[in-house]
Amino acid sequence: MRKVRIGVIKAEPVKWNKRKNWNTLDRLVRKAARGGAKLVITPECFLDGYVASDKRSTQEKFRRIAERGAKGTYIKKASALAKQLGLYFVVGFTDTPDGKTFYNAAYLFDPKGRIAGKYYKIHIGARYTPGNALPVFDTSFGRVGILICADRRWPENTRILALKGAEVILIPSYGMWHEANECWMRTRGYENGVYICFAHPKVAFVVNPKGNVEAKLMGSVDDVLLHDLDTVTHAHLNQRRPDLYQTLTEPLS
């Protein structure tokens, strides 16, 4: 892995207001770029404000707020911004490629504005269809994986990404930012020898492969945390005993 500076956005989105949320993203991504960031990550479903949690939501409102995959207006804006600034950009939003099925999504754009990766949340709430894959994406600085919010609660998800070669795990989130969360994330970083980069409306932080919080940003002001990521070794993964772990994949009776 090559050294890279990440920008982790800590900002509160406005439900149902993609224009305002985009303006916030545009401002903070540009700030991150001026600070030398080559990878920027937003909180979960930032574009729409995580409207799935709004009890007033209707299916029709949900359909209208969702982006139509790569054809979506704001997805095109995200692509153009990544290309203009020459950086990798992960944006969270509600995705409906076919107008019928809805995913809690995070797209990874590369410095040329191309979609370098898509991830759909696998442990989902109401209105969403779960994703069915844990992909790892190649970048110019190393390999990255993405988990969205609740996906981080299951240690197997992070382990699979690490075994696939991920050196950095990006976690856009909206809920569950209590004190225990930091303990979880430190554990995930240490037990897999990876960086954990956590983006949430209330807090942004980076955990190193030794399980230490290297940088953290809190407060009521929308902002972006800048931090340099360095070498990853996955040192102890080759000491696993997978021959003893079959029970982990057996369903509960």
Q: What is the pLDDT of residues 9-65, one digit of tens each?
A: 999 999 999 999 999 999 999 999 999 999 999 999 999 999 988 888 888 999 999
* 252 vs 44 pLDDT, higher one: 44
Work out the average pLDDT over 185-210.
97
* 43 vs 249 pLDDT, higher one: 43
**183 is a catalytic site residue:** no
Domain that holds residue 154: 4-249
- Catalytic member of 44, 67, 118, 167: 44
In this prediction, residue 239 carries a pLDDT of 87
Residue type, 165: G
Which pairs count as long-range contacts for 99-104, CB under 8 Å and 24+ apart, including other chains?
99/63, 99/68, 101/129, 102/62, 102/63, 102/66, 102/127, 102/128, 102/129, 103/128, 103/129, 103/131, 104/44, 104/45, 104/52, 104/128, 104/148, 104/149
Taking the C-alpha atoms of residue 90 and residue 29, their distance in angstroms, rounded to an integer, is 10
Element (H, E) at 60: helix 59-65
Number of domains into which the chain is organized = 1
In this prediction, residue 235 carries a pLDDT of 65
pTM of the prediction? 0.96
In this prediction, residue 248 carries a pLDDT of 87
**121 is a catalytic site residue:** yes
In this prediction, residue 105 carries a pLDDT of 98
* Mean pLDDT, all residues of the chain: 95
- Catalytic member of 10, 18, 38, 121: 121
Quick check: 61 and 51 in contact, CB under 8 A?
yes
CATH number at residue 30: 3.60.110.10
**77 is a catalytic site residue:** no
- Catalytic member of 118, 149, 167, 197: 149
Antiparallel, parallel or unpaired: β 115-120 and 103-109:
antiparallel
